[in-house]
Structure formats: C-alpha cells, structure tokens
Structure 1
C-alpha cells in the first residue's frame, strides 16, 4: 500500500489542485491523473472476460459451452428453475454439478433471470437484492405459463404480457434466452456465447491443476525433442495469447503499490446482452460522455475501454471518457423507432460494460439493391457485461413504452423520495464560507441584490478539525443563532458530514464507534481498517452492520449534534468511499464488512448505505414529521429513495457545462431524477459569461446549486457587476416562478419513476432525429430547454420536434415543428419553449425564498395546440412533512378544450379530515391565465358562476397567433371550475 507520506497532505492537495487548475486554464496540464485508476488491461477479471470475448470472435463456429438440462426444469409459484451446465467443466459427476437457473415472471411484466452456483465451495455473495429491491415483488401465477411450449429441439416458449404481446424463448443447447415483442426479437441473452462463470475453488485445487499442466507440458516438450531429432517439422503445443489472458491474476493482483489478496480467488461473471434492431442505448451512469452511448469495441469504435462502474473519487474528471466516476447504476435502455427495452444488471461489485454497434445499412440505389440480395445483418447493439463477483441477477423490461419501463423498474428499486419544497429551489455553496460573519454577509448580499435563494452550505472547514458533528467555535461560535437567522427568512442550512471518522480517543464519535465495534475491518476480520482522508488517520463506518446504521442515525438528534436545528440538513461527500492512501483512492477490496462480506461485493452500494442511514437520522431526529434532505456524491440503484446527488468535482469550463446535460439526462432515465451539476464549475474560475450561461442552464437542473473550490475566487452572483448581476438575477427568478411546475414533476417522479428532465426521444419516440440529441432536452412534457454551452454564442440551433407549435416562455413568440431553426440566444436568455398542448402552473411574484411564496397566487400558462386543446397538472402539499402520505395534498388536472378551461380533482381514496394547511392553500386564487396559440383575439371570458373576467390580447412577436391574458378570473387553485372564452 502507499505510505501515508506518499499521498498529499490536505494543504499540499489544495496546492496541487490549484496548480492543475491553473495549468488547465493555460491549456498545458491534463486534468485527471489517469495513472491513479485502472484500465481494463490492469484489471484481471476484465482482461480475462474480454479475452474470452475475443477468443469467441476469432474461433470459427464458436458455440457457448453452457447448456440447460431441460429434464431438470420445474415450474412452481411463478418461478421456472433448472440446471445449467458447462459442458467443458461438468463432464463427470462432481460435488458441484453445475449452475442453478431461475426465470421469474413478474406481475408487472418484467422478467428476472438468475444464475448461481449449485453447490459452491463457499456461498457466493447474494445480498445486493436485500438492499436494492424495495419489497418482495409479485410473481405471475403459474396460470400465466399456460402458453409454455416445448419444440423438438428442446426450446421453451413462454407467452406473457398485459396484451399477451411478449414472448420468451429459452434455448437449451447452447443456452440462450430471446425476448420478443409482437414476435419481433428485442433483447437476447448469450447470443454471442459469452456467458462465463468463474467457479469458486480452493487454492490448493488450483495448485494441483497447475502441477498437472506442468507435467503435461514436459511430455509435450519431449515429443517435440524427438520430432526435432528426426529432422521432422517441429510440433509445438502452446497456448494462444488470448488463452494465456484467461489465466491472468487469478489469486492475487497488484496495482501500483497495492496488493489485492483475493482470498476467494477468481469469481467473475460475464454475459452478452444484445439489443436487437436497436442502434441507440443509454444509461450505465456515471460517465462524462454522450447520452447515446458510444461503442467501445468494433471497427471505428470511439472508445477502446469499456464503460466502468466502480465508484471512485476522480477530481477534475475528463469529459468524453468511459472512466468510472462517483456513482454506478447498471441500468441500460435501448430505443429504436419500433421498440424500447431495458435491462438492470443487479450487481454492486466492480463492473465493466462493452458496447458494440452493428449500424443500420443507410445505402440507397443500386448498392442497396445489390446488398438486398445478400445476407445483411440487422441493426443491433451488442453489449458485454462483466462483474468481479456475486451472482448473475438480471431484470429485463420490454415496456412497451418508456413510461412502462420507468414504472416497472421503479416498482422494484423505488421511486425518488418526495423532497421538501425548499430543496428544489436555489442552493448557495462553496468550500468554504469562512465564519458566521461571512455567512451573514453572503445572506445579506442576496437580499441586497434581490436574488432569491433557499439554502446556504458549509463545507469541511466549519468543523473542529474535520470532526463531523462539531463546529469550529472560533469561526462559528453560535451555530444555532446562525441557523435561526436564516430560518427567519425561510432559509435553511446544510453542513457536510463524511463517512470517515477521525481516529481520536478524545472525539466522542470516534470513541463510541470503537466501543460499539462499528468500523469496517481489515482483511483479517478483526482489527478496524485505518486509512487516510481529510482528518488524517481515519476509520470508516460499516453501514452493513444494523447496529452501525442505528447508531449513526442517532448522531443527528439535537442533543448529540450540538448546535443543530430543524432547519439544518446534510451533505454526504467522499462516500465512494474516498481513501487518500488506498488503491485507486478508495478502500481495498479485501476489507471485511459485517457478516464476513468482502468489500469487493458491495463497493458500489457503500455510498447508498451511508446516504440511507443519514436520511434515517434526519427523519428520526425531531417530532415534527419532517422529510429529510441529504445530498450524496456516490450512488447506486435505490439511492433515489434517500435524496439527491450531484455530478461531483467538475470544472469551470465550457466543456463541463456542455457535458452536464447528457450526464444528468442519463442519471435521470436510470431512475435517479433528483440530480444536478455544480453551477459555475467546482475547480477553477469562470469568467462572467461562463458563469451567467451556467446559471441560465442550471435553473433547469432538478438540483440547482452553485459550488466552488476553496482556491477559486469568490463568485457570489453579484460579484461580476452589471449586466451579469441582472442576468443571473433574472435566471434565478425564472427558476422560482416555475417552482409549482417543478414540484408537480417531483411528485410525478415519486409516483411512477418518470424522469424530471427527459431526453427528447422519450417525448418523441418515433422521431429518429432526436435519438442521439443531448444538447437540448425536455423539463417534464412541457418545456424545451437548449443551454448555451459555448463562448460568444448569440444564436442557437434548436430542433422543434413534433407537428405542433412551441412558445417562447419570455415573449411568447411561436415556432412550428418539426425541424431545426436558428434562434436568437442573447446574453440575457437561452432558448426555452413551452410545448403546445400543455398547461404550466407558475407563481410570478419575486420573493427572497420559496417559503415566502407559499401564500402567493398562481398563474396558469395555457399553450393551445392546433385543435385548441391543452392539459396540465398541479400538485401541492405543505412542502415539509410526511402528511401527504395520509392524503393531505391537492392534485388537480387542468384541461382546455373547445374554448373551455376546467379544473378537476385527481386525488383518490378516503382521506378523512382535510388539514387547515390544504384548506388554506386550496383557497389561494389563480390571479392570471395566459392563453397562447389562439387563432382569434379573445373578447370575453366567463366563469361558470357568471362572472366575466377582464381579457387583454396582443399578437405574438413571431408566429401570428394571439397572446391573451385573463386577469383575476376569480377561481381558486384547489376548486372545481369551468370558464369559457370567445
């Protein structure tokens, strides 16, 4: 292992990062230290499985050695089980005759495939499901298998689905599973024959095997000598380079100065998954790359490395790179004009994913006719999934729509927790605000410059020597008063709390943790692991220990976290976990968790477990039934149940502003919608133009926070002067006017898993022009956003999808789809358009915080489509407690049709007495209707009770339709109403 002295101290690390940042600004220094992180060639199991794939490709008539024993198949309680053997390993009776195969047909039309060792020398880790899956799922009844047919070759066919549209074909020899939608092949498992299961074995067994090989080799050498003595042609029996790679780093593995002892030996799994008829696949975050994943193998592949899923602290990360970053979600969605499908590879060990694309033939004319007479492969994306340990546990989702897939997936791993309303407003952060006086001055600066914000953050310097749950008494002598001062304006505070605990017997958290024995253990399983992080010598909480989780949660109670109040919330950083002197700046794989679980099996889940325990602590700490807010840097599938994440230590560059959009879109469609990127960039110093453009983009991130490195210049929104202060103020205020719309989208995501910001293809699934588009996107189904991500740009190319109109949200000018058009994007705005056919709720009075807006009236912006119709929703609750779970909320649908706007209640079920809060908020008035897209000038608006409202109309600047404003229609947001216009 690296010595402590070989890692930079905190001060040295800050200086190093500053020098690198300066070098980047000058264009002379590479951002990330690539040598700190493995490539596939430096990872034994990745090398072995990739070599296996290459061997399969180079071997004529390659056939997978895995076969399903059809006579062993049994169907019981909705699960099909059987024996899967490797014909190269299971030729003779053995204590370990093969693998167990399971196929689960779920009642939500998803399918689960599990493969495990039948009788291993020791159990393979199979606990990921206990953390990731939210509850036991429902299985289809055995009657759903009534259309289970077996053909002459032994292949099984199962018909299923709500409309009986899906089919599974399980072939036995070689083993392969094909998924069809309406008889069209969509997903195929083991089509390339790359299924590979490294069986657990004893090292002594491996040694004997090697001895046998040596003896065999000697005999072969002798034959070669005899042949050579007789002047005959030499015959050499040697392994190919690929075959040799299959035996690399089986029992011990070194990287730089670190050694992974690998006490269980090789145990990786691999499988190829083909998306048939699909050229675009998305997902497997987190990577700083395009939305539509680029190929990593095949002719002309842009990348030579697979996408790596291994949570790591990679500061100043590069863009356009498949390197691992802070989070991992092994979910992939494929889409074409004719089909949509997704897979979830439920494994928390280090994982690599290769992508190879078989592009659709675009030739035309004579060449196309000639090719049509030959066998031409259909479009497909072939992926190869490789994990270091665990079992093969895979879910397949066939939709048929994106919304169906999001619903199916989220029903297994959970939807995003409905956040407190303040958390979707603007957050102000840097490393670090230096003192209580500094906090007061920054807070006052927002008021002075009329810029709203809701949360002020404190980084690690607020603590007493990096001891979490403490305060630096010299800098922050009265933290309770500081929080109450912010709270009086409706504002909150967030402090950072990391999973590494300073090793210090005089530090109460450190001492209690040792006494309770809740730290991760060294590979001996007895002594606590000791590593290096911000406080120096540190230990890490083992969140797999139930006692540790409960103890950690208890630390957030007000009597233990002295100086905390109910307006204080939490930021979990460094939870990959980051270990400065560890391999790849993280914890060794062979350390031990509770239950004798090796860290290698659960690495990608560690941050989620930490996030979960912190959220538990914030929920339990008070008696006000308050929802938690916790931000995490590391994540996995299921993290969305506990709070928000962000994309880590980005840089103040136009390239990082540009890459934020595809990164956030990818994370969102992978089930984690509450995400954001540091506005302005964490490292470096943005100029005024970059910072302004980043605010204009950042107001459309689900999580909207500005953040900066300790060495960066101060960049509060007013420090660059005019016109930038006004431009940033206008951007932030725009976010606040749309908060009712954002909160409604968060509610929708909490119910069915639908992403909040969405790739264009999810809203326009048949428009091939948008399948790879990631420089513009949708907020919900209503707003089209095109960030400006290059310097000096004043005109932007915007693609308007669909056959309807789009309305600029500022001046209501009209553009007609479909097609691309050059749109003005001056310094004070970016292109944002409301889609015809939608109704968006807003609050348009500027206030200092979202809390100050809770009694304000509403505006509805009604964008009529070509048929004169539009729909929209609003969701409202108290924005703070869990009372909504008992039905204490408002959910209404607005519908415009044939010149009539109506409001209807969508809340279902008996909820008992409605709270005073909901009665009050439901009585708030709608003060304005803005009707867009009318072909004629409206002259009269009549409410159902006979009241006539004032209406004013004017021509839109572009597009020829009218913009009509109805003032004070005298209706309330929470009531049923109808009003008509002529």
Structure 2
C-alpha cells in the first residue's frame, strides 16, 4: 500500500499535523519523571566506597527510598574537561553506551584533596579546577578559582529507572507496578511502563521503563545556546512543564517555526556564556532526549537577617538545565572553557573537527526535486553559462533512479549517465545524486537481495527484517550501526559496483532520520532491533550519523584514499561534522523561514557543524521574486549554498525571474565566488583549530553584553559582519556594529563607523549589508569564473581594512582543493598578511606546508588610510623594488593598488609612503 508522497501535501497546509507528532504530554518517560521528581527523590553518595584508579574515581550512590545502588565514575579528561558517568551498579544486562562518536581521549588522573567526612574534593587539570563531591544529599560542584561554576544534582533531579525482568516472566500485579513506579493515580498503561500507545501504534518495551535524568545549575549564566536542531531562536528560551526542547530526529515536512519540537538532527550539547567565561555541557545519549531550561535572573539585593540588622547581599543569576533521556546511561562531559575558543576546541577534541571540504562544494549548488532527464540537466547547465552565473554542482533527486532503487539509473530519463557526467566534467562541474537508507523490497534488486542474504537490515522484534513504507513503497532499512553493513555499503560506491558513476559524482543522504511513512511519528518503531540486539530506541538519533559515515568512507575508498568526499546529510548527531555537510531540511518559501534560518545555522555552527546551510528560496512553495533575491543574498554568505525546491513548485532557476532580479542574483552568486579564498581559509581554520565559519556576535565579542542576544546578523569568520535583509519591502535596516574600540567599513561604499552602536543603513533590492572589521585582511579572487575549477590560477586581491591603530592582519590557505595531499604530503600554502606602520607584508604562516602556486596578487584595496600617499613601492624577497601606480579617494580614505603581479607564495612587502 503506497503512502501519499510529499508532492501530494498541500503547500497551503502549513501547520504541522499535531496528531502525527508527539508533544511532551504524549511522552511517557517525561511524565513519569515529572511525577516522580515531585516526590522525595533523594540520593546519597557512599563515600566509603570511593576507589581511585588511573582513569577515574568511582563511588556508589544510593536512592534513600529504593535502596538500589548506582555506580558513579568521575574522569578528568585533558584540555580541562570533566566526565561523569552514572550506571546501575549491577544491571540485569548491559545498558547502551553510545559508541563511535567520541575520539580516543587522554585522561588526567584526579587527585583526592582535603574534604570533610561528608565530602570529597578531586583536583586535576589546569586553572585550579576542582570537583567537589558532597555525600548527602548527593551533589557535585565544579569549582574554578574558588567559585562554583556548575552544580550537578543540586535540585535533586537525578533519576534512574533500573532494568527489570521482562514483563512476561514476572508475576507482579499491576498495583505493585504502579507502586514501584511511584504512580498511585495513573495506570501502567498511562505511564507507559511496559508498553506505550500513540495513535495506532503500540511500543512494546522488552526491558520496561529505563529512562534517566539529571540536573545542572550554571552559576552566573543567563545566556545558553545550542542543542540543535530546532526552528527556534539562537538563545535558548526558558521552558515550562510540557514545553521542553526535544531531541528526536524526525522528518517534519514544512516544520513549524519558533517551536521546541525536534526535527531532522540532534546534537545534545549546549554552551553557556557570561562575561568572563564560557562553558559547555555535552550529554552523550542517542535516545529520545528532552531538555528543560530555567533561568533565575539576577536579584540585585536580597535581605538576610544577621543579628539585629538586615544585611544586603547581591545574588547572581543562575540557569538550571535538566536533561532527560528515554534510555541508556548518564554520560556527560563538562567543558570548562574559559573562552568560547577553548570550548570549541574542547568539544572538537571529544567529537572531531569539521572535515576539510573539497573546494567545489563551497561553490553554488543547483538542485530540484527533480531535474527530469539528461536534456533537462543539459539545458539548466547551459542556462547558467548563457546568463553568466557561476555554479559548481548539479543535483539529482529520487526520480533519477529506476523505481526508487538507489544505485540504479532510470534508463528512460538518463540513458547515458556517463555522457551527462562528462558534459559536466568538461565544464569543470560536479554531480550530486541522492541515496537514501531505505531499500525497496524487491528480490530482483541486487542491493536488496545481497543485503537480505547477509542479514544487513534492521530487524523487527520477531527476528524478521523490519519493513516500512517510504519512497519505493515497501522497504527495508540498512542497519548502519553494524560495522559490516557500513563496510558493505561503502563498497557500493566503487566505480565497479555503482555502474556508470564517475569521480565527479558525489552523494546526498536524505530521509535518514530514518523516515518511515507509516511509522509512529513517521519514523522507525522504537522496538526494532539493531546489531548487537540493541533496540532502536537506544540509538535512534545516531542512525543518520552512521549512514553519512559509511557514505563518506565509500567515496574516499573509491579513490583509494586520495580524494576528499562530499556528503550532505539531513539527519545528524554529534560528530557528524567529520563526514560532511548538513542542511535545515524541508523549509518553506516564506520570509519567516528565511529569518529563522539565521539562528538555526548559528546554532549548528557553534555546536561543531560548520558546513551547514538552508535551502535557498525555501523548499516548499513559490517564493516571490523579492524573497528569492534576498535568500540568495543571505545564502551567498553562509557555509553551504544550495538552491532547492520541491517538484510541485514553479521552476525558479535564477534567470526565470526577469532581467532585473536575475542581475541581483547573479551579483550575489558572483560575490560568493570572489569570496571563496576567504571562505576556504575559514574552513581550514575550522578543520585544524575548531573555529566556526559562521559565528554569532557573542563569539567574537564575548565581553559585549549587547551582542549576546543578536541573531539577525552574524560574523563570517572574524572579519566580515553580515546582516541579511529578511523582511519584505525593506528600505532601511538597523545594524548593530559591536566593539566600542572597533572600526567597521561598508564593503561596497567604504563608509566607516566606530563600533559599539547601532546604525541605520539604507538598502535597495540589490543591497546586502556586509561590513569588514577594521584590523582585518580578506583575500579574494578578482574575478568569478564559471565554476571553482576555472578559477584555480586566477589572480587574488586583498581587502585591507585598517584598525584605529592603522594595522590589519589576515590569512590565506591554499591547496589543490580536492585531495588529501594537504594532510599526507603537507602540500598546502598558508600565508599571513600584515599591515603595520604603512607596510603590508606577505609571510609564511606555516613552514611545514609547501604548495607551488601560479597565482599572483594583482589588486590591493586599503580602507581607512588617512592621507594620500606620495609613493607606493613593492619590495620582493630578492631585494628588488618596484614603484606602483595607485589611486586614492580622500572622501572614503580608500587606497587602491592595481595591476600588481606579486606571487602569492613568495615573501614580499608593499611600502606606502
């Protein structure tokens, strides 16, 4: 029986059908925890059980009511990270611990310091960090410089449901079960202890209730960010009962904005920031997770009685965060900062840095569900050339396959895929095709037949292959949690296996939440069985992570480890950044979705996933011309830049909107291509130093309170401030320029402002407000080619914006743009530009790298130069001096040097006199 396809869903029906997806009131483990925690739920640490090993300090915790012990382990991890694990002391069988996400870690031995009979102090690492364990009631305090930064279980929200003997083997009465669950009023069915009903679905729980929870109090913090993916504000909002942030990967078509409902991906990691400190909490759990946030604002004074007089005492703000997961163990990492940069490095030490993308993937991508056939592809490709619009990648959605059988081409639509790919190769362009995790149930389909023969599908509880409905109709789902399945799946991308694929073909993993059209909440039943006998509920949020991992490995293997892969995935988890890019899913062609894309992308960026974007124009619906132009302008300054639309929308290739709007889109895309040297250099910094490509203002200006809530503008790297226009018919916008000691330059008019204020900027439809920060040097290409492949040897320009002190610095990273030679053979170029005392220098930033380049710097623009020079002279490393022609505009204080020929890979100086 076929399910209605997405193309049959009315675009006008914007509201998400709430009967399909749960809210907190439908999530029984949440209700159980809220009910139980309203009662006395005290735990006590048994400090006489403390043992200290090389890696961790262990001790038992006991519930004062049930008297059932838990085992706690505290680890010191290098780079000032603490790890806390809490598990059953003697579980009936192992509980799930998330594998494959965390890198190999070096632990730091924690030393027991002084403590009284009711507490234990552990010290280790740097910066005077201490872990104070208090016995009764059980609490842990993380102390830095004698100040409590984080308290754990200070609200007594520790919750742990122990594994039980399966229901069918027990003689316990329903009344006893209600009592054991602390449920005097609700029945077992209501609380979902052994089975849970939602709609027409029944979730049978073989292990009974197994949820966990724990609270954290963040002292002095009011601003929290992270835990994507939600269509919500960048700063986390306070929640109330029944309004928690949900982390549960779901295929929600046209998702509701300003909602705490989980959508396609989950990163259970948040950051907290205040003046002087940034910290992070990483909750390593792949089951359904809910997060409550409650900020107690600062109270200026409170009165406490001290003898006969009332004393005044200042109270700091505090934010309490409670994490609740359906199953698994408590495994949490505390990242102690203290700076945003430190926290980024600490998190990437745990989960990995952003993969270095191939250069082509930073160009513009053209996608639609679906380009109909080879002739359509050829015509669209030609349209970009005819209208002088650069692009790098053509995309094909599910209709390119034979009956939704992935890895097999539809021979009627695409009779000669290799010829089509050669057409694109000749234009120095690439092709991306879709490969979803569901496999059509068809014994004549070789992928299905081989996977079934080897037992590579997720199983149902009865032991047969799990089957559900997706695009091909009845489908089975590959079990990517199994290393053998991933190895086999990776092999499907070999040129010998994937018939008529070539080395310019790359992959898009969609529907990998996983999406199951007739499943509960349109996903897989939680009691489906994976490799190792684990239920789907344990690992749901990592399913897409594993597919992207296998796909990236397959693309790498097909080149014998020589070429970087490109894989876009809709579903993701912590660590997905190691395997490619993600996007924000099925958004809508409305202004509100353009606006919400900014905080969504900022949140992804600070939680490790720098390579992210939103479908330009909106996937669902028909954007008006003004909206489409504004979205292209925004997308041009974001990490992943793809236009995409669903099949029942009007065609919207950039030249179909009329000459004027085409010109504006062309300008936006061409500006993207000229900016690629800067963007590529930022990705290298993300790859090696964990710095996000796209950054909220608070990251670059951590001591400026006014920047903490800004989400309608952002920094691209540390040099460019971008404020996309997200409202219709806008003629004037307010732009906040941070930093009272900063100078900001309009990238087009060269007008400049002192920072620390909000300025009104007039905007026309062709305008996107972009400002360069004083003190920065931005490398660019002086011209935009048809694609990145045409620009390899084209000249560079430098945009130098001087600080109030008349100085500037910047970097350029360069390699072949596609291979791993930068890593294995150190074939790269890393240059540092510095302007100081009226001298611009080009020097090597990393002596380990060597990469010959034919490129030259032919233009230099210096903004903020206060007087007209008398002469400009270049000085090369061989001692030769050469005078340079220049132009100077006194009105804008802009100095322009043209017709230069300075080798980008050589040392030189430019003296301005």
Match of 1:156 in 2: 120
Match of 1:954 in 2: 888
TM-score (norm 1): 0.89
Match of 1:967 in 2: 898
Match of 1:449 in 2: 387
Pairwise CA distance, 1:174: 1.2
* Match status 1:9 vs 2:4: yes
Distance 1:215 1:620, change over 3 A: closer
Instruction: Name the SS for the 1:748 alignment partner.
Output: helix
* Match status 1:737 vs 2:659: no
Pairwise CA distance, 1:587: 0.4
Residues in 1 aligned to 2:568 and 2:837: alpha-carbon distance in whole angstroms:
46
Match of 1:187 in 2: 150
Residues in 1 aligned to 2:600 and 2:368: alpha-carbon distance in whole angstroms:
22
Match of 1:229 in 2: none
Instruction: Name the SS for the 1:179 alignment partner.
Output: strand
Say whether the 8 Å CA contact 2:194–2:209 is kept in structure 1.
yes
Match of 1:557 in 2: 494
Say whether the 8 Å CA contact 1:156–1:170 is kept in structure 2.
yes
CA deviations 1:128-156 (Å, max 9, x no partner) are 1x21012x21111x3x52xx323224222
* Residue 32 (structure 1) aligned to one of 16, 40, 49: 16
Residues in 2 aligned to 1:865 and 1:215: alpha-carbon distance in whole angstroms:
68
Match of 1:132 in 2: 101
Instruction: Name the SS for the 1:724 alignment partner.
Output: helix
Pairwise CA distance, 1:204: 5.3
Say whether the 8 Å CA contact 2:301–2:315 is kept in structure 1.
no
Instruction: Name the SS for the 1:934 alignment partner.
Output: coil
Pairwise CA distance, 1:191: 1.2
Pairwise CA distance, 1:245: 9.5
Deviates more, 1:406-415 or 1:960-969: 960-969
Match of 1:850 in 2: 788
Match of 2:233 in 1: 290
Instruction: Name the SS for the 1:885 alignment partner.
Output: helix
Residues in 1 aligned to 2:430 and 2:310: alpha-carbon distance in whole angstroms:
65
Residues in 2 aligned to 1:831 and 1:497: alpha-carbon distance in whole angstroms:
38
Match of 1:253 in 2: 196
Pairwise CA distance, 1:165: 3.3
Q: How does 1:889-968 map to 2 (within 5 A)?
A: 889-909=828-848, 914=850, 918-919=851-852, 921=853, 923-944=854-875, 945-955=879-889, 961-968=892-899
Distance 1:522 1:681, change over 3 A: same
Match of 2:530 in 1: 593
Say whether the 8 Å CA contact 1:49–1:246 is kept in structure 2.
no
Match of 1:347 in 2: 285
The alignment of Structure 1 onto Structure 2 pairs a total of residues equal to: 901
* Residue 110 (structure 1) aligned to one of 57, 70, 81: 81
CA deviations 1:444-487 (Å, max 9, x no partner) are 10001000000000000111110000111111111101011111
Match of 1:670 in 2: 607
* Match status 1:72 vs 2:49: yes
* Match status 1:754 vs 2:691: yes
Say whether the 8 Å CA contact 1:52–1:194 is kept in structure 2.
no
* Match status 1:661 vs 2:598: yes
Instruction: Name the SS for the 1:592 alignment partner.
Output: coil
Match of 1:544 in 2: 481
Match of 2:65 in 1: 88
Residues in 2 aligned to 1:459 and 1:345: alpha-carbon distance in whole angstroms:
35
Residues in 2 aligned to 1:166 and 1:410: alpha-carbon distance in whole angstroms:
21
Residues in 2 aligned to 1:687 and 1:160: alpha-carbon distance in whole angstroms:
58
Deviates more, 1:394-403 or 1:550-559: 550-559
* Residue 354 (structure 2) aligned to one of 398, 416, 434: 416
Deviates more, 1:933-942 or 1:453-462: 933-942
Residues in 2 aligned to 1:41 and 1:789: alpha-carbon distance in whole angstroms:
34
Residues in 2 aligned to 1:763 and 1:556: alpha-carbon distance in whole angstroms:
41
* Match status 1:51 vs 2:35: yes
Say whether the 8 Å CA contact 1:951–1:964 is kept in structure 2.
no
Pairwise CA distance, 1:247: 7.8
Pairwise CA distance, 1:967: 2.3
CA deviations 1:868-919 (Å, max 9, x no partner) are 111111111100111111211011111111112222222244x7xx5xxx21
Distance 1:208 1:813, change over 3 A: same
Say whether the 8 Å CA contact 1:68–1:82 is kept in structure 2.
yes
Instruction: Name the SS for the 2:864 alignment partner.
Output: strand
Distance 1:891 1:246, change over 3 A: farther
Report which of the two has the higher share of helix: 1
Match of 1:228 in 2: none
Distance 1:426 1:215, change over 3 A: closer
Match of 1:337 in 2: 275
Q: How does 1:511-590 map to 2 (within 5 A)?
A: 511-524=449-462, 526-590=463-527
Deviates more, 1:582-591 or 1:371-380: 371-380
Say whether the 8 Å CA contact 1:531–1:582 is kept in structure 2.
yes
Say whether the 8 Å CA contact 2:76–2:125 is kept in structure 1.
no
Q: How does 1:709-858 map to 2 (within 5 A)?
A: 709-802=646-739, 803-858=741-796
Match of 2:305 in 1: none
Say whether the 8 Å CA contact 1:48–1:247 is kept in structure 2.
no
Pairwise CA distance, 1:166: 2.2
Pairwise CA distance, 1:260: 0.4
Q: How does 1:366-381 map to 2 (within 5 A)?
A: 377-381=315-319
Say whether the 8 Å CA contact 1:949–1:969 is kept in structure 2.
no
Instruction: Name the SS for the 1:697 alignment partner.
Output: helix
Pairwise CA distance, 1:270: 0.3
Say whether the 8 Å CA contact 2:777–2:798 is kept in structure 1.
yes
Pairwise CA distance, 1:210: 4.1
Instruction: Name the SS for the 1:423 alignment partner.
Output: helix
Match of 1:397 in 2: 335
Say whether the 8 Å CA contact 2:857–2:903 is kept in structure 1.
yes
Instruction: Name the SS for the 2:647 alignment partner.
Output: coil
Instruction: Name the SS for the 1:36 alignment partner.
Output: coil
Distance 1:468 1:559, change over 3 A: same
Residues in 2 aligned to 1:547 and 1:741: alpha-carbon distance in whole angstroms:
40
Pairwise CA distance, 1:161: 3.9
Consecutive unaligned residues in structure 1, runs of 5 or more = 24-28, 57-61, 91-96, 218-237, 299-303, 365-370
* Residue 616 (structure 2) aligned to one of 656, 673, 679: 679
Match of 1:232 in 2: none
CA deviations 1:58-79 (Å, max 9, x no partner) are xxxx6x5211111111222141
Match of 2:250 in 1: 312
Distance 1:500 1:938, change over 3 A: same
Residues in 1 aligned to 2:786 and 2:83: alpha-carbon distance in whole angstroms:
50
Instruction: Name the SS for the 1:131 alignment partner.
Output: coil
Consecutive unaligned residues in structure 2, runs of 5 or more = 303-308
Match of 2:306 in 1: none
Match of 2:554 in 1: 617
Say whether the 8 Å CA contact 1:280–1:335 is kept in structure 2.
yes
CA deviations 1:287-340 (Å, max 9, x no partner) are 000000111128xxxxx5110000000000010000010000000000111321
Instruction: Name the SS for the 2:409 alignment partner.
Output: coil
Say whether the 8 Å CA contact 1:949–1:966 is kept in structure 2.
no
Instruction: Name the SS for the 2:405 alignment partner.
Output: coil
Deviates more, 1:355-364 or 1:624-633: 355-364
Instruction: Name the SS for the 2:464 alignment partner.
Output: coil
Deviates more, 1:257-266 or 1:206-215: 206-215
Distance 1:658 1:211, change over 3 A: closer
* Residue 159 (structure 2) aligned to one of 196, 210, 223: 196
Residues in 1 aligned to 2:541 and 2:477: alpha-carbon distance in whole angstroms:
15
Pairwise CA distance, 1:374: 5.9
Say whether the 8 Å CA contact 2:151–2:216 is kept in structure 1.
yes
Deviates more, 1:486-495 or 1:73-82: 73-82
Say whether the 8 Å CA contact 1:464–1:473 is kept in structure 2.
yes
Residues in 1 aligned to 2:449 and 2:572: alpha-carbon distance in whole angstroms:
28
Say whether the 8 Å CA contact 1:359–1:380 is kept in structure 2.
yes
Distance 1:448 1:173, change over 3 A: same
Pairwise CA distance, 1:184: 2.4
Say whether the 8 Å CA contact 2:7–2:646 is kept in structure 1.
no
Say whether the 8 Å CA contact 2:51–2:58 is kept in structure 1.
yes
Say whether the 8 Å CA contact 1:276–1:379 is kept in structure 2.
yes
